[in-house]
Amino acid sequence: MGKPFAEELASLSGTFEWASQLPLDGVIRSVRALSNLPLIAAGSGGSYTAAHFACALHGAHTRRMAQAMTPLQLVSAPTDLRDLGIFIPTAGGKNPDVLGTFRHLVSEEPRSLMIWCATQESPLASLAAKHRFVDLHEFVLPCGKDGFLAVNSLLAFSVLLARAYTASVGSSASSLPRSFDKLIGDRSWSRPDQIDNRCGGLWERETLIVLHGPSTLPAAVDIESKLTEAALGSVQLADYRHFAHGRHHWIAKRRTGSAVLAIICDDDRSIAESMLALIPPDVPIVRLDVPYAGWLAGLSAMARGFFLAASVGRSRGIDPGDPGVPSFGRDIYHLNVYKAPQDDDPLPREERLIIERKARVKVADLTRTARLDDWRQAYQAACSALYETVFCGLALDYDGTLCHESERFDPLPEVMAAEFARLLRGQVRIGIATGRGKSVRKSLQQALPEKLWDRVVIGYYNGAEIGMLGDDTCPDDADVAGPELKDVVDRLDRDPLISRLAKVTIRSKQITLEPAEGFFPGPLWEYVHSVLLGLAGNEAVALRSGHSVDIVPPQSSKLAVVEKVRQLAGSEHVLRIGDRGRWPGNDYALLDHAHALSADEVSPDPRGGWNIAPAGHRGAQATLGYIRRLKATRGGLRLGPMPLKRSGR
């Protein structure tokens, strides 16, 4: 694992150039998915620094809360993760902490989970491949395998994060410098003789106190990490005001053994200099002063910190890139503390998961408030309604249910098309309830044999218009609103913000608003909903999908697809599947029934619309699992139950 630190430092310029030019389309989409959520970023060692830097970027660009944690903190946290974004950076993707954390996250099902790994085909990648909702990005650094302190992967991740966040939210924040030398600014910090001369007084003391401001916290965390992990010195961290609350006593009592490294940037230069002037003059002070502000100051200071670690290593005769690892250290590193505890909990793990999805409360809290029995009874009733019914057909949402949102304009996935063909050959009727128009028809026509088209019905524009798959005259794509939506169009035209918040597409029976870059469907729906509430006599409704907001007349409903499938099949029971079952999701009405399954979001109503997919299965992956559990019988289709396992979490 060791590698001469000088070799790692020599590769930094090339790593910076590579990370500055790497195409990032997929990464930007993943970061955009995180941008509308509070964030937890977790990592160990250098990845903990990357987690801190990600949080700095998240806060700066999205104005949302972000917190860095160690893997153990994240796994042990009682926080409900279902409405949070999670970022896991890792150099190798194989240590027990990152693998244990991933397994935990699968069971907790955060809204968005992004993983970056600087190694291809890692054990973590193998686990992530089993769950389509995970955004895994693997990178091959130009410098090859990283060394003990992983400075190249940290620099690469930091540059890629900065680029992705800036692009994903359309920010005009500071752009990256053109080269690694410009990032460092003062090149004397990267020249061994000059940095050794500048910092020599620090290395003569036992304790280094690193003072920093909010912007340079990631750099301070990284300096502490590197000096501690390579046994280069004892480090204490404090921001400029936190140091004022008692931490100055360390200098008062241990003055002869203490030195100060002050990380200064444009955000805190005044407060830093005012405080440093009050430190006793016999305490060595070195100012690591970078000519930037915000996250760019943190990145610049971090880069200088790499060379600072090399300097203290030279002073103490230790190569930070290969300090040697004791045998007990290897044993500690490989200790697996993330095994699922075996307890006497009588609740099957899958039942626990399904109830927590629906109740949006942990089972422990349901038990404490004496509500668990009610939820267990509701779950058993839902299972009975689903497993004991013979279905004549299916009514399914499309985007987010049959395909990933980002793949919605591609043909129906082959595995899904194969399952559709299996059911259709068994004389089952299938209805598609979509918020889109003819693009869905074309995708299905490409995916399914023409001889099966007469068994497929499509409800366009959230059920406003019904047509068979083979009917190329459907839907009406005229870009003029019908009488039910004319007043809404007039109101939107007069609105001073709508044109800046969204792209508006008008159809006869639906108005679609796609969020502008840096804006999201949730906040857009809130604004549009408030506009509709203020429109006198309006009965139109705003619904939300994963990528847009649809305004439809009150008579438009995906339930029209259910009714059409019933008519074609000549039977009553239709299984409904969608992904947006929680209001104002556009599948809310479709899934408000005992014979309904969600592939993602659920309403709090225990009477129907449960999500019974395995842990970590979401969207098309969950739907595919449901469909594969449908077995043909003489009277129609039966849904097979999911096997339950009894074990601790």
What would the mean pLDDT of 347-372 be, rounded to a whole number? 94
Query: Residue 69's Cα: distance from chain center in Å?
Result: 15
What pLDDT does 337 receive? 87
What residues does 403 pair with on adjacent strands?
A: 399
Q: How many residues make up the chain in this entry?
A: 649
Q: What is the dihedral of CA 542, 544, 548, 549, to 10 degrees?
A: 10
**Quick one: tokens of 8?**
């790692």
Alpha-carbon distances, residue 531 vs 217, 305, 443, 535 (angstroms): 42, 52, 34, 7
Q: What is the dihedral of CA 104, 106, 108, 114, to 10 degrees?
A: 100
What would the mean pLDDT of 38-64 be, rounded to a whole number? 96
Mean pLDDT (the chain, rounded): 94
Q: How far apart are CA 33 and CA 520, in angstroms?
A: 9
Helix 521-533 and helix 486-494, axial crossing angle in degrees, nearest 10:
110
Domains of the chain: 1-176 (3.40.50.10490), 186-339 (3.40.50.10490), 386-475+556-637 (3.40.50.1000), 485-554 (3.90.1070.10)
Per residue in 99-139, pLDDT (tens digit) is 999 999 999 999 999 999 999 999 999 999 999 999 999 99
What pLDDT does 632 receive? 86
CA quadruple 536, 541, 544, 550: dihedral sign? negative
Give yes or no for a contact between 131 and 104, defined as CB atoms under 8 angstroms apart. Answer: no
Q: What DSSP letter does each residue of 84-133 carry, written as one string? A: -EEEEEESSS-SHHHHHHHHHHHHH--SEEEEEESSSS-HHHHHHTT-TT
What confidence category does residue 325 fall into, taking pLDDT thresholds of 50, 70 and 90?
confident
What pLDDT does 336 receive? 83
Q: How far apart are CA 336 and CA 44, in angstroms?
A: 15
Q: How far apart are CA 548 and CA 561, in angstroms?
A: 21
Backbone angles phi, psi at 53, to 5 degrees: -70, -40
Alpha-carbon distances, residue 448 vs 31, 39, 496, 604, 644 (angstroms): 34, 41, 45, 36, 34
* DSSP-assigned letter for residue 614: P
Per residue in 438-480, pLDDT (tens digit) is 999 999 999 999 999 999 999 999 999 999 999 999 999 899 9
Alpha-carbon distances, residue 156 vs 44, 321, 354, 425 (angstroms): 16, 17, 39, 52
The answer to whether residue 517 scores a pLDDT higher than 90 is no
> Quick one: which H or E segment has residue 630?
strand 630-632
**Quick one: tokens of 303?**
């880069």
- DSSP E strands in 268-392: the ranges are 285-289
What pLDDT does 406 receive? 81
Give yes or no for a contact between 638 and 387, defined as CB atoms under 8 angstroms apart. Answer: yes
Strand bridging mode 541-544 / 549-552: antiparallel
| 60 Cβ contact list (under 8 Å, min separation 6) | 165, 173, 294, 295
Q: How many CB atoms lie within 10 A of CB 242?
A: 12
Q: How far apart are CA 530 and CA 631, in angstroms?
A: 45
Give the max Cα distance, the chain: 92
What pLDDT does 341 receive? 58
Cis omega (within 30 of 0) on the bond before 643? no
What confidence category does residue 508 fall into, taking pLDDT thresholds of 50, 70 and 90?
very high
| 221 Cβ contact list (under 8 Å, min separation 6) | 48, 49, 52, 237
Q: Strands across the sheet with 549-552, in order?
A: 502-507, 510-515, 549-552, 541-544
Give yes or no for a contact between 547 and 514, defined as CB atoms under 8 angstroms apart. Answer: yes
Give yes or no for a contact between 597 and 575, defined as CB atoms under 8 angstroms apart. Answer: yes
What confidence category does residue 649 fall into, taking pLDDT thresholds of 50, 70 and 90?
very low
The answer to whether residue 641 scores a pLDDT higher than 90 is no
What confidence category does residue 647 fall into, taking pLDDT thresholds of 50, 70 and 90?
very low
Residue 533: helix, strand or coil by DSSP? Answer: helix
What would the mean pLDDT of 197-208 be, rounded to a whole number? 96
Per residue in 242-265, pLDDT (tens digit) is 999 999 999 999 999 999 999 999
Q: How far apart are CA 505 and CA 164, in angstroms?
A: 28
What residues does 544 pair with on adjacent strands?
A: 549, 585
- Of 265, 263, 257, which is closest to residue 238 (Cα–Cα)? 263
Cβ contacts of 599-605, under 8 Å, gap ≥ 24: 599/400, 599/401, 599/623, 599/626, 600/400, 602/357, 602/358, 604/358, 604/359, 604/360
Per residue in 531-577, pLDDT (tens digit) is 999 999 999 999 999 999 999 999 999 999 999 999 999 889 999 99
User: pTM, whole model, 2 decimals?
Assistant: 0.93
Alpha-carbon distances, residue 287 vs 27, 198, 243, 277, 370 (angstroms): 36, 10, 16, 12, 59
Strand bridging mode 66-69 / 234-239: unpaired
